[in-house]
């Protein structure tokens, strides 16, 4: 499709919202990307290795792995999979935190033409059993700390090939004394590896040695082949597997790179990766996009251990970091982070959940950099919209027009990335106008093929013209800039008025005594629903009365919380996204608010 064409793909009528964002696009960002640049992610990976052989690709616990070694080990793992009978299209589950082993297994699986099924290592036996059975995975690579979960989930699954890895694997050549010492401490001193019995399992170093002894047989992989079955986060219900093709993910990588053009420099970047690579946001942005520019990728095993994270960054003058609201807040509470020299930092990205204004302003004051907000979802590989990087800098110029003032994109998710179309749909199925809220719908090359083995569920979210309904409520202004209002399923209706949790959370998070806050709707016989908030204090002197007084200053009456419950922590996913569903369940189970 040529740049500037008025109507998106499909047999639909042109609409007022089509392409109006082009006027706000950074001048050096192309409106379209070409996914055919790479035949597959295997082609993409081999080209990256060829270009940056002598560069450091990943760093874990102070150990560096260069592109050349990464390429050799990934091909050895692919060869091992082939020796085990893994064929193109077979599913290989990866159940690991951010380690060198994950990177090797990820790219080895893609090289073999198999489908990567990313698994959260903290899954319970029930959750893992569902994912293994649903995907039909016959092979799994598991971090030994969670091998007992695999042991208990194996009955009823199709697993036949199990590879076990530990934190110390791949931290050195030969005797690997450093890695062995780390594993011994974790197993016998810290007792972090529960006993398990997987008698047929193979250790990763053994698997790589076997693979290295046999030739790798290249396979034919095309754009339409599935690269990932990426399960949805489960914050609103049962997880479903989004089928992301090689074309979907290649397109999203190229879209991300096009957006960052002019900011990032090949072979000069150091990116911090605290979010787990098994999450689609970190996978596409950190594991793939930064790989394509030869960046040094600093892997953080456990982002919740802020002290360990800071030790990993002690000698890293990083230029980029990706995180989300809760992690940025935690980092800024750390003295070692606050006193760092941020002069090298040029890109700090936020995604995965809405970034609260108080967090964004605090980060800007501390580092001099603006948090670049991105919006996406698993079903879109994930990137859909992003805050312009260079345009934001231009808009911050003192002589910029008022409509492009220093805060022009604050509180928004920016503009659709190249080759992407976004519209808002009314409840009656018609398209909303500029300035009118509706369900955000997406069309572009990054939109998933569908849900794995769930054609009915696929039909509910993707229409005949390829428009994906996201379930999010948003509005587009006259510049094409999009503001996300909230999840459609999280919206409350109080006395007939729509109330969105993000707005309430954003306001209360600005209170200096509030560390974290989450809002839900609870049933009420008079108003339909009433607002309840769960608050983690920053200052123990905070009272319900003080918080509600603050809320009344900034929220209209029906949005002011009716109930306040103070907690020591809020339930979160492993990447820090608050699970409102669990808070609702706790309330329904009889949690007593302090009101």
CA distance 109 to 434: 44
Q: Residue 89 has what pLDDT?
A: 98
- Both tokens of residue 30? 């192309």
Q: Concatenated DSSP letters for 261-278?
A: BTTB-TT--EEEE-S-TT
CA distance 233 to 240: 9
**CA-CA distances (angstroms) from residue 24 to 173, 261, 391, 473?**
51, 16, 8, 22
**CA-CA distances (angstroms) from residue 537 to 43, 243, 534, 573, 576?**
50, 40, 10, 20, 17
67-221 matches 491-588 in fold: no
Which class does domain 20-38+238-486 fall in?
A: alpha beta
Q: Residue 183 has what pLDDT?
A: 78
Q: Could you count the other beta carbons within 10 Å of the beta carbon of residue 589?
A: 7
Domain edges within the chain: 20-38+238-486, 67-221, 491-588
CA distance 138 to 243: 17
Angle at 41 (CA atoms; ends 87, 94), nearest 5 degrees: 60
**What is the pTM assigned to this prediction?**
0.86
Which class does domain 67-221 fall in?
A: alpha beta
Would strands 492-494 and 139-143 be described as parallel, antiparallel, or unpaired? Answer: unpaired
Mean pLDDT for back-to-back runs of 10 residues, the chain (595 residues): 35 69 86 96 98 97 96 98 98 97 98 97 88 97 96 96 95 76 80 91 97 97 98 66 98 96 88 94 96 98 93 95 90 95 94 80 93 90 89 39 57 92 93 94 97 96 95 93 83 81 91 95 86 96 97 89 96 84 87 49
Cβ neighbours of residue 315 under 8 Å, at least 6 residues apart? none
Asked if CATH classification 3.40.50.2300 holds for the domain at 491-588, the reply, yes or no, is no
Bond before 382 cis per omega within 30 degrees: yes
Helix 67-83 to helix 100-111 angle (10° resolution) is 60
Q: Residue 401 has what pLDDT?
A: 37
Q: Residue 355 has what pLDDT?
A: 80
CA distance 388 to 373: 9
């Amino acid at each position: 499709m040529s740049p500037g064409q008025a109507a998106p793909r499909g047999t639909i009528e042109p609409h007022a919202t089509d392409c109006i964002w082009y006027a706000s696009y950074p001048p050096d960002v192309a409106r379209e990307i070409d996914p055919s640049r790479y035949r597959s992610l295997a082609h993409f990976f081999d080209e990256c290795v060829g270009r940056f052989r002598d560069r450091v690709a990943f760093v874990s616990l102070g150990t560096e792995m260069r592109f050349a070694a990464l390429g050799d080990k990934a091909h050895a793992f692919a060869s091992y999979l082939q020796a085990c009978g893994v064929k193109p299209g077979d599913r290989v589950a990866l159940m690991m935190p951010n380690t060198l082993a994950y990177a090797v297994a990820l790219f080895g699986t893609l090289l073999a033409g198999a489908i990567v099924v990313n698994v959260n290592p903290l899954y319970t036996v029930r959750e893992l059993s569902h994912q293994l059975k649903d995907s039909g995975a016959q092979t799994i690579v598991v971090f030994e700390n969670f091998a007992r979960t695999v042991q208990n989930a194996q009955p009823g699954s199709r697993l036949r090939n199990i590879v076990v890895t530990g934190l110390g694997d791949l931290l050195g050549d030969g005797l690997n004394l450093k890695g062995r010492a780390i594993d011994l401490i974790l197993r016998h001193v810290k007792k972090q590896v529960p006993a398990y019995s997987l008698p047929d399992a193979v250790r990763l170093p053994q698997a790589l040695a076997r693979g290295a002894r046999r030739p790798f047989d290249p396979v034919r992989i095309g754009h339409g082949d599935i690269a990932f079955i990426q399960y949805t986060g489960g914050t609103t219900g049962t997880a479903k597997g989004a089928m992301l093709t090689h074309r979907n993910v290649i397109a999203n990588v190229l879209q991300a790179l096009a957006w960052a053009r002019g900011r990032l420099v090949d072979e000069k970047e150091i990116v911090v990766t605290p979010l787990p690579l098994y999450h689609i946001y970190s996978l596409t942005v950190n594991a793939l996009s930064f790989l394509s520019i030869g960046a040094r990728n600093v892997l953080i095993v456990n982002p919740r251990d802020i002290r360990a994270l800071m030790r990993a960054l002690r000698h890293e003058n990083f230029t980029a970091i990706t995180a989300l609201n809760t992690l940025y807040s935690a980092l800024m509470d750390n003295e070692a982070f606050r006193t760092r020299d941020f002069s090298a930092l040029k890109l700090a990205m936020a995604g995965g959940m809405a970034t609260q204004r108080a967090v964004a302003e605090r980060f800007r004051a501390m580092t001099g950099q603006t948090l670049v907000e991105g919006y996406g979802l698993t079903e879109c590989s994930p990137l859909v919209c992003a805050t312009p990087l260079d345009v934001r800098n231009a808009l911050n110029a003192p002589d910029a027009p008022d409509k492009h003032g220093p805060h022009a994109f604050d509180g928004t998710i920016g503009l659709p990335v190249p080759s992407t179309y976004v519209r808002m749909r009314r409840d009656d199925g018609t398209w909303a106008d500029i300035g009118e809220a509706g369900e955000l719908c997406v069309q572009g090359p990054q939109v998933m093929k569908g849900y794995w083995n769930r054609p009915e569920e696929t039909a509910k979210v993707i229409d005949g013209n390829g428009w994906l309904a996201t379930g999010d409520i948003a509005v587009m202004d006259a510049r094409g800039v999009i503001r996300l209002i909230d999840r459609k399923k999280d919206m409350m209706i109080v006395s007939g008025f729509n109330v969105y949790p993000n707005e309430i959370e954003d306001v209360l998070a600005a209170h200096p005594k509030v560390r974290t806050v989450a809002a839900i709707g609870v049933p009420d016989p008079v108003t339909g629903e009433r607002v309840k908030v769960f608050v983690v204090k920053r200052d123990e002197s905070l009272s319900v009365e003080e918080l509600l007084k603050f809320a009344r200053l900034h929220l209209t009456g029906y949005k002011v919380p009716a109930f306040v419950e103070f907690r020591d922590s809020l339930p979160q996913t492993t990447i820090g996204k608050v699970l409102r569903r669990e808070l609702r369940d706790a309330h329904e189970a009889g949690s007593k608010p302090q009101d």
